[in-house]
Amino acid sequence: MTEQSIIFFDIDGTLLNFDKKLPQSTKEAVFKLKELGHIVAIATGRAPFMFEGLRKELEIDTYVSYNGQYVVLNGEVLYTNPLNIASLEQLTEFALSNNHPVVFMDHEDMKANVPKHPFIKESIATLKIDHFPTHDPNYYKSHDLYQTLLFCPEGEEHQYIEKFTAFDYIRWHPVCVDILPKGGSKAKGIEKIVNALGIPANKQYAFGDGPNDFEMLTTIENSVAMGNGEEKLKKLAKYVTKSVEEDGILYGLQMIGLL
């Protein structure tokens, strides 16, 4: 068997193309990696319930979700890092005063604190998932939350960044920002997995394309930025592959010698 490596893949813009479809070349490449004895894992900002179908299709049971806040190894929860509820309650009250809705998210579901809002519909629709948040303004009181979505136009998140310092903020849509525990990242989630498995740094690989991949691609020794990725990210990564629309995963794996 080939000496074992572990490869972490982001989802949106990396495993999935811009239409949220899995290229056939990517699917075949993932299964070939596993045939060669490597470990294939996912590292995403998505909630676990947002990529359950993809995990089943690719037969992957090790993943970093919520940008490192909910980590699963071989189907078992390895690490969790929930949001500070007291701080979140204060943020939610402030957001309501600004007419900025929020969506609370745990590992199983997501609930909005308002019955409906155009920003929620607009941004969630771009994920092309079946799951849509229903209304429960008190969901945070009885569940551990690993991420909250704040819906506000670009630029307006700065007032939250200054006022609520217990959190990190990552914008992923013109009207939506991810709220995470301060210092949380995909890189920290990945660290939990590779330490548990005892995989050395030179056998760790990661593919990504977006702002929430910066820590991952600057921490993992063998980092690969997608050709469709942000220019800043491509300058920081060790390798740059082709776009997801040009069989970028297959090309990248061949380029770095894993396939």
What letter represents residue 39's amino acid? Answer: I
φ, ψ for residue 24 (rounded to 5)?
A: -60, -35
45 touches 76 (CB < 8 A) = no
Among 10, 12, 178, 209, the active-site one is 10
Q: What is the H or E stretch that residue 148 is in?
A: strand 147-150
Work out whether the CA dihedral 256, 203, 146, 22 comes out positive or negative. Answer: positive
Report in angstroms the alpha-carbon separations of 103 from 129, 138, 196, 224: 16, 11, 32, 32
Q: Coil, strand, or helix at residue 51?
A: coil
Radius of gyration for the chain, computed over Cα atoms and rounded to the nearest angstrom: 18
Render 67-118 in DSSP notation, one character per residue: GGTEEEETTEEEEE----HHHHHHHHHHHHHTT--EEEE-SS-EEESSS--H
For this structure, is 10 an active site residue? Answer: yes
Neighbours of 20 (CB within 10 A): 15
Q: For residue 177, give Cα distances in angstroms to 104, 124, 147, 152.
A: 12, 12, 10, 7
Collect all residues with Cβ–Cβ distance below 8 Å to 52 and sequence separation of at least 6. Answer: none
Residues labelled catalytic: 10
